[in-house]
Structure 1
Amino acid sequence: MKVQVQTLDATGNGDIELNDAIFGLEPRADILHRVVTWQLEKRRGTARAARERGDVARSGKKFGRQKGGGTARHGDRRAPVFIGGGKAHGPRVRDFNPSLNKKIRTLGLKMALSSKAQGGSLIVLDTLDVAEGKTKALAAQLGKLGFGAKALVIDGDQVTNSFALASSNLKGVNVLPAIGANVYDILKHDTLVLTRAAIEKLEARFNG
């Protein structure tokens, strides 16, 4: 698959041949759904448990008479109605750490990239160098490129510093290094923007 390479000035800079094994797959909704669900579950932190009646370090001895004391008939001080007692129906420990086969995760990322490439939502840029890192200059350039409402920009090992600074105040533009490319962020954005360096890193990641 051939894609035109552009510059930030919206001028052509040749073509690049994309690997069909990565950018030419037929997306499957079930695979993408499994990977996105796995990602969102992995984000959840472990729920903390509360001490219930059986977990509180207090005596189990009945502290008063059953009748004649003028109070309710409690068995011990671990009851939830007392200060320091156990919590009634408190939260239990829940560890959200699902597993997903590495082949499925890899296939899901390839299909996410393919969906953007085949849907016309992929833009390939030569570099991300922005003159003086000015937000105003970058905003004008992105308007010519047609980034859309939400765009995800993926660079090589590190995002070019001038672009990261200039785009930090632009709503709807998010940046990632190639190592951080993931299915959820790719699908969540209207446009996927890759640099030459990002494509090289992604292809090396899958081939390695």
Structure 2
Amino acid sequence: MEVNVYNIKGEDTGRKIALKESIFGIEPNDHAIYLDVKQFMANQRQGTHKSKERSEISGSTRKIGRQKGGGGARRGDMNSPILVGGGRVFGPRPRDYFFKLNKKIKTLARKSALAYKAQNNAIAIVEDFSLDAPRTKDFIAITKNLKVSDKKLLMILLESNKNVYLSARNVTGAEVQTVSGLNTYKVLNADIVVLTESALSSVYNVLI
């Protein structure tokens, strides 16, 4: 599969780049994608949730009603879970949601995500570029030139570029990512993936 290479003015450079079948032409593995996205989402969780259980509620420990004959459920003190203001039964406690995922599965998931984008013609290649200063209007002009301003955009660069990152930070639906930070969730979450030429070469080195 070949795609045209554009410059940031949206002009076709006349050159084409072949997307390697070993990444962009594979049969996507949905289960690998599911596992990788699940791990990514789990790692975003702080895990600081906490509710008070019966023993942690401040209140009198006096038994407020007799054991039997009251016509309702038996209950002890005011901290009983069956009363309003009482403790919670088996409430959430702080925990770590991290789980291990093999590198081969993560690699397969990223390949599958890129393959889905290639199947949907949602991959664009641009020449390497940089911005002299962080200006949001310059980044917006680039997206309009590439005709992707109305789409949720993921732009992948070879390495961190502060000016490009700051220029895109205030643009709704646009995100700038380096190859080293490439992950399945963000690829799938974007409507179109724009890679620079050097970033594409680096993707080959990372995923093959």
Question: TM exceeds 0.5?
Answer: yes
* DSSP 3-state at the match of 1:3: strand
The whole-number CA distance in structure 1 between the counterparts of 2:139 and 2:76 is 71
SS at the partner of 2:125? strand
Which residue in the other structure is 1:89 paired with?
A: 89
- Aligned pairs for 1:46-195 within 5 A: 46-50=47-51, 52-53=53-54, 87-89=87-89, 91-93=91-93, 94-130=95-131, 132-147=133-148, 148-158=150-160, 160-195=161-196
RMSD: 3.4
Query: Following the alignment from structure 1 to structure 2, what is the Cα–Cα distance between the partners of residues 174 and 75?
Result: 56
Shift of 1:91: 2.1
Name segments (4+ residues, structure 1) moved above 6 Å.
74-80
Paired position in structure 2 for 1:38: 39
User: TM-score, normalization: structure 1?
Assistant: 0.76
The aligned residue for residue 9 of structure 1 is 9
Q: Residues of 2 paired with 1:178 and 1:138: CA distance?
A: 19
- Please report how far the alpha carbon of residue 32 of structure 1 lies from its aligned counterpart in structure 2 after TM superposition: 2.1
**TM-fit CA distance, 1:50:** 4.7
1:124 alignment partner, SS class = strand
Which digits, 9 at most, give the CA deviation of each residue in 1:77-132, with x for residues without a partner?
Answer: 9878xxxxx93426243432233332221101001111112211111111232354
Q: TM-score, normalised by structure 2?
A: 0.76
C-alpha contact (below 8 Å) 1:154/1:178 kept by paired residues:
yes
Decide which structure has the larger Cα Rg and report it. Answer: 1
For residue 202 of structure 2, give the secondary structure of its aligned residue in structure 1: helix
In the comparison of the two structures, how many residue pairs are matched?
Answer: 198
Identity of aligned residues (%): 28
Unaligned runs of 5+ in 1: 67-73, 81-85
Distance 1:155 1:92, change over 3 A: same
* Aligned-residue offset at 1:54: 5.0
Give the aligned residue type for 2:44: R
Residue aligning to 1:71: none
For 2:167 and 2:128, locate their aligned partners in 1 and report how far apart those are by CA, in whole Å. Answer: 14
How big is the shift at 1:39? Answer: 1.8
